[in-house]
Amino acid sequence: MFSKETYVNRRAELKRLVKNGMILLFGNNESPCNYPNNGYAPFRQDSSFLYYFGLNRDGLVGVIDIDKNKEYLIGDDIDIEDIVWYGSVDSVADMAASVGVANTAPMAKLKELCDKAIGKRRIHFLPPYRFDTKIQIMDLLGIHPSQQKTLASLDLINAVVAMRSVKTAEEIVEMEQAAAIGYQMHTAAMRLAKPGVTEQYVAGQIEGIARSYGSMVSFPIIFSQHGEIMHGNPSPALLEDGRLVLCDCGAETMSNYCSDNTRTFPINGKFTQRQLDIYSIVEACHDHALDISKPGVKYFDVHMSVCRLMTERLKELGLMKGDVDEAVAAGAHAMFLPHGLGHMMGMDVHDMEGLGQIYVGFDDETRPNLEQFGTNALRMGRRLQEGFVVTDEPGIYFIPALIDDWRASGHCAEFLNFDEIEKYKDFGGIRIEDDILITSDGCRFLGKDRIPYHPADVEEYIAKNR
């Protein structure tokens, strides 16, 4: 949590941007796992609520009445039974004071505040993503959940996106801390992932590292020998000598700022030449994105430049053919890279994705072609600004079902050497991912220590540390 002034200033700026009406920012409620008292842990607050109100407790709603220049923290104090089981906690009034909010009210009063405004003034809310919040909005505003995404306030979405996109120095300190935990998780995975142990064992151990810092992983850990499955869950399969394993994971700090890195490494500690052939292309693409990312450049153009480089190199390897620009324009590279180069990152690992990717990652000059496979999975195309944090995560994947599908339909056949590609059906996939901060004249990595990624460094780290 930052100082009171941070939250006071953020709310003041939000009021300036949204201009009028009444803003409702819903905090999250506890999320039961299998019965009400057994919730998913740790509790995860809504990121926009955290951004403006900073309070990491369930059952709160923040109200910013712009027209009356009044702010409220709405919530109920816990009762004696809760104190018996969970210990005492700050009162709603104490919490409000800690973030500079002058007024409090119990949850039952929120309906009155809304009733007075309905039909007379604009009531702004963000698109909800939890069902209990959808029910709250239906009860308060009479809007059915099926309409809530459409009726969410675009002015509020745009204001929140504008503010949360640019990270301040104190947020970067948090993200550096998340990167440091991520470094520990990834290097532990390199030490633990030996032939004969299960994917789940390694994933569980490295999740424990994140938890030992008091918070959680920034998303469910992807740790799989089937690197070609974008979000592959760790399985009970034993790690095999000679294969690669893809590890995509990150941590959240206790203030809920994230990291997100991917490494793909040989389970026995030594890359084969065939693995290096593909790895070196992904590595070159990853480095190329760093070379050209700076303020003013569209991340869409960085993505396309990476796709061209990847296509050139896959052509040299005999997997693609034809004119590189035409191949990329046709989307042929998406056989190998069916996702975008990266996404915004902050308090959400895919930062603000719940507000609508189209508002977060794009603008009028960078609307993606939603008709084209691969391009339709882009999460970020906007012009970069100083203070943005984005991921740089190219990958090359050999997805047997996709190879069969495109071969059968002849899709992009003029650019793909299917006979050669077939030979890689047992390969898996490689992704390399780092988090970068856009600076005044370029970009830099987050994290003091770089998780080994040059093949020689990966091999050396494993040889010295297992």
Residue 28 interacting entry, from Mn ion, ligand GLY, none, C-beta within 5 to 8 Å by type: none
Binding mask 201-220 for Mn ion (x = CB under 5 A): --------------------
Q: Give the nearer residue to ligand GLY in terms of CB position, either 246 or 314.
A: 246
Q: Residue 313 or 431: which CB sits closer to ligand GLY?
A: 431
Q: Within a 10 A sphere around the Cβ of 89, how many other Cβ atoms?
A: 13
183 token code pair: 């470094």
- Per CB under 5 A, 264 contacts Mn ion: no
Is residue 434 involved in binding Mn ion (CB under 5 A)? no
Selected binder of Mn ion within 6, 391, 397, 453 (CB under 5 A): 391
Tokens describing residue 450? 């770089």
Cβ of residue 227: shortest distance to ligand GLY, in angstroms? 12
CB of 249 to ligand GLY, least distance (A): 8
Among left, alpha and beta (phi > 0; psi -120 to 50; other), residue 369 is: beta
Supply the DSSP symbol for 348: S
Distance, CA of 319 to CA of 423 (rounded, Å): 10
The partner in contact with residue 176, picked from Mn ion, ligand GLY, none with C-beta cut-offs of 5 to 8 angstroms by kind, is none
Helical pair 455-465 and 273-292, crossing angle rounded to 10 deg:
120
DSSP per-residue string spanning 83-101: HHHH-----HHHHHHHTT-
Q: Which residues pair with 429 in a beta bridge?
A: 397
Our CB check for Mn ion shows the closer of 124 and 164 to be 164
59 CB burial (10 A radius; 0-12, 13-18, 19+): middle
Interface positions with ligand GLY (CB under 6 A): 219, 248, 260, 343
Q: Which is nearer to ligand GLY, 213 or 219 (CB)?
A: 219
Q: How far is the CB of 174 from ligand GLY (least distance, A)?
A: 18
Between residues 231 and 464, which has the closer beta carbon with respect to ligand GLY?
231
Least distance (Å) from ligand GLY to the CB of residue 231? 6
73 Cβ contact list (under 8 Å, min separation 6): 53, 55, 60, 61, 62, 63, 92, 95, 96, 99, 101, 103, 104
Q: Which neighbouring-strand residues pair with 22?
A: 65, 123
x/- string (CB under 5 A) for Mn ion, residues 350-389?
Answer: ----------------------------------------
Least spacing, CB of residue 101 vs ligand GLY, in Å: 34
- For Mn ion, the binding residue among 174, 207, 260, 351 (CB under 5 A) is 260
Nearest to 275 by CA among 426, 403, 466: 426
Least distance from Mn ion to the Cβ atom of residue 311, Å: 22
| Shortest separation between residue 245's beta carbon and ligand GLY, angstroms | 15
Q: What residues pair up with 103 in beta bridges, in sequence order?
A: 72
Binding site for Mn ion (CB under 5 A): 260, 391
